[in-house]
Copies of this chain bind each other. A is one copy, B any other.
Amino acid sequence: MALSDVVRVERNEDGIAAVLGILKQRFGERFQTGRSIREQHAHTTTYIPTQAPDGVVFPESAAEVQEIVRACAAHRVPVIAFGVGSSLEGHVNAPGGGISLDTSRMNRVLAVNAEDLDCTVEPGVTREDLNHHLRATGLFFPIDPGANASLGGMAATRASGTNAVRYGTMREAVLSLTAVMADGEVVETGARAKKSSAGYDLTRLIVGSEGTLGIITSLTLRLQGIPQAISGGVCPFPTLEAASKAVIATIQMGIPVARIELVNALQMRAMKTYSKLDFPESPCLFVEFHGTEAGVAEQAETFGIIAEENGGGPFLWTSVAEERAKLWKARHDAYWASLTLRPGAKGLSTDVCVPISRLAECVAETEVDIAEMGLIAPIVGHAGDGNFHTLCLMDPADPAEIARVEAFVARLNERAIRMEGTCTGEHGIGQGKAGFMLAEYGHGVAVMRQIKQALDPLGILNPGKILPVG
C-alpha cells in the first residue's frame, strides 16, 4: 500500500471559490488564506505529505460552526476540524482542498462540577489548560497523550496515553458532547448522568470518528480526584518476555497500577545517554501507583515481588516527587532521546495494540524484523494496554528508505491484526492507516460506510480519512 492509494478526493473548484468569498465576507480577519497558515494547518508530524486547505476559519461559537458547515454543505466543500495539529496520521490534511475549521478560539471551560467529578469544555481547550484551570479543585483530567493536544482533537482520535491502564481512554472519559452535523444541525449526545441506557450511543460513535461524522463543539468530561500519594520507579528485566509476564501478573492480581510502561533495550540506551541517568541497558518497566500513602507502598512492594518472581529487579521505587519527576521526564523525552541514535533523521511512530498475552511475542517479532531490515527503531509501550510504539528513524529525502519503512509498518500492522489486535491503539486512522481497515474489520468497513453515507451524504466532513478508497 502506498499513501497515494488512499487520499484522492476530487476538488470542487467552483464550490471552493464560492465558500472562500462567503467566509471572507462573514469572518473578516478570522478567515485566513495565506499559504503559510494554510500549510501549517495541514502539516503533520509524520512523513505524510502536506495537503493544504484553501482557507482557515476561526469560529468562536457553535452557532458560527453551524454557519460554516452550512456554507460548505451548500457548495459541497470539505470542512476539516483542527485542534492543535498534533495528530500523526494526516488527519488534518485536505486532499480535496476546502476549509480548515480551527477551534483554538473555542477555548473556554464552560463548567466544572466538582461534586460530580465532571466538567464541560469547548473543543479548543488543551489538556494542560484544563488541568491548570482545575488546580484549585483537587481534581484532574488524567488522559495524557504526551502532546498538549486539544480536548476536541483528543476525543476525535480517541486518544489515550501512559495512564489509560488506570483511567481509560477518551472513550471512557467523554461523558457526552455536542456536535454540529453535516447538515448544520446541533446534536447533544447525552447529559451528565454517569451512565444511561437511553438509545444509541452517539457519544461513542462521534468519539474516534476524526471529524468525519460531526464537528465537536463542546465536551463533558469525567475528572478524577488527585491521588493522596504517588509512588513509582523503574525495574529492569533480562528479557522482554520476562517484563511482559510481570505486567500480566500485575494486572491479574488487580493492582490498580496507574502507569506501566515497557521500554526496550535500545530505547533505554538512548535515554541513558540523553537524560544522563544511571539506567540499565536492558528492557525496563516504568511503573507508577496512585492511592493512599499505605496503598501505594503496598502496591509498590507487591509489584517488586512480582518483578523478582519473573527474574526482574531490583525495583527501586520512591514516593518523593522530585525523583519521580526525573524518571518520568526521561520517559517523556524518549522521542528526543531516540533521535540522538541517528542525528538528522526523522522519526515515524507506529501504534499497534494487541492482547497483553501477545505483547512479548509481538514486540520480539518486531525487533527481529527491525534487525533484518537494518532499521534503527527503538520501542516504548503502554504495556498494561498491550499498546506499543516503534520509532522508525529515517531519512525523509530517501524514497527507498521510506518504502522500506512503509513495508515494515505494513508488516507490523498485519502482525498486530493477526494477533487479535489493532493497527492503532491511540493515534487513529487518518490517511496513513486507511489501507489497513479492511484487514482489521472486513464487512465492518461496509457498515461504517453506511453510517458515513447516512450522516454525511455529501461527504463534506473531513473526506479521505478513515475509510479506504473503493
Residue of chain B at shortest CB distance from A417: B191
Closest B residue, CB atoms, query A115: B357
Closest to A437 in B: B199
Q: A197-B158, A357-B113 are in contact. Are A190 and B422 (CB under 8 A)?
A: yes
A199 and B208 contacting across the interface, CB-CB below 8 Å: yes
Q: Does A5 contact B (CB under 8 A)?
A: no
Given contacts A204-B205, A355-B113, A356-B116, contact A195 B444 (CB under 8 A): no
A253-B225, A295-B298 known; A186-B443 Cβ under 8 A? yes
A interface, CB within 8 angstroms of B:
113-118, 138, 157-160, 164, 168-169, 171-172, 181, 185-202, 204-205, 207-209, 213, 224-225, 227-228, 248, 251-254, 256, 291-292, 294-295, 298, 351, 353-357, 385-387, 416-417, 420-429, 433, 436-437, 440-448, 450-455, 466-467
Q: Please determine whether A195 and B209 come into contact, CB atoms closer than 8 angstroms.
A: no
Cβ-defined contact, B252 with A225, below 8 A: yes
Q: Which residues of B contact A452 (CB under 8 A)?
A: 200
Question: Contact between A193 and B451 (Cβ–Cβ < 8 Å)?
Answer: no
Q: Which of B117, B188, B253, B422 contacts A191 (CB 8 A)?
A: B422
Tell me whether A200 and B209 are in contact (CB under 8 A). yes
CA separation between A467 and B138, bound complex, in Å?
41
Contact in complex: A195, B425 (CB < 8 Å): yes
What is the CA–CA distance of A88 and B187 in the complex, to the nearest angstrom? 28
Given A186-B443, A197-B427, 19 extra CB contacts under 8 A: A115-B248, A158-B195, A169-B195, A187-B444, A188-B444, A190-B441, A193-B387, A194-B353, A197-B425, A197-B428, A198-B423, A198-B437, A200-B451, A200-B466, A201-B205, A205-B451, A224-B254, A225-B252, A294-B294
Tell me, in angstroms, the Cα distance from A445 to B188 when the chains sit together: 10
CB of A429 within 8 A of CB of B197, answer: yes
Q: Do residues A116 and B357 form an inter-chain contact, with CB atoms below 8 A?
A: yes
Choice from B171, B192, B436 contacting A421 with Cβ under 8 Å: B192
Assembly CA distance A422 to B199 (angstroms): 11
- Is the CB–CB distance between B454 and A195 below 8 Å? no
Whole-angstrom distance between the alpha carbons of A452 and B428 in the complex?
Answer: 26
Shortest distance between the CB of A79 and any CB in chain B (Å): 18
Q: Determine whether the beta carbon of B444 is less than 8 Å from that of A355.
A: no
- Contact between A443 and B197 (Cβ–Cβ < 8 Å)? no
**A193 close to B422 (CB less than 8 A):** yes
Chain B, Cβ-Cβ closest to A352: B193
C-alpha spacing A428/B207, complex, angstroms: 22
Assess the A193–B354 pair: CB atoms within 8 A. Answer: yes
* Bound CA span A201–B454, Å: 16
A353's partner among B187, B196, B351 (CB-CB below 8 A) is B196
Complex: A185 Cα to B159 Cα, angstroms: 30
Q: Given contacts A171-B204, A197-B425, A252-B225, are A455 and B450 in contact (CB under 8 A)?
A: yes
CB contact between A201 and one of B171, B424, B446 (< 8 Å): that residue: B171
Q: Which residues of B contact A194 (CB under 8 A)?
A: 353, 355-356, 385-387
Q: Are A159's CB and B197's CB within 8 A? A: yes
**Cα A115 to Cα B383 with chains together (Å):** 13
| Contact flag A446-B185 (CB < 8 Å), given A357-B113, A420-B192 | yes
Task: Select which of B205, B416, B446, B466 is within 8 A of A205 by beta carbon.
Answer: B205
B224 touching A115 by the CB < 8 A rule?
no
In Å, the complex CA distance between A191 and B436 comes to 14
Q: Is the CB of B200 within 8 A of A117?
A: no
- Centre residue among A168, A207, A357 by max chain B CB count within 10 A: A357
The answer, among B256, B294, B425, B455, for a CB contact under 8 Å with A447, is: B455
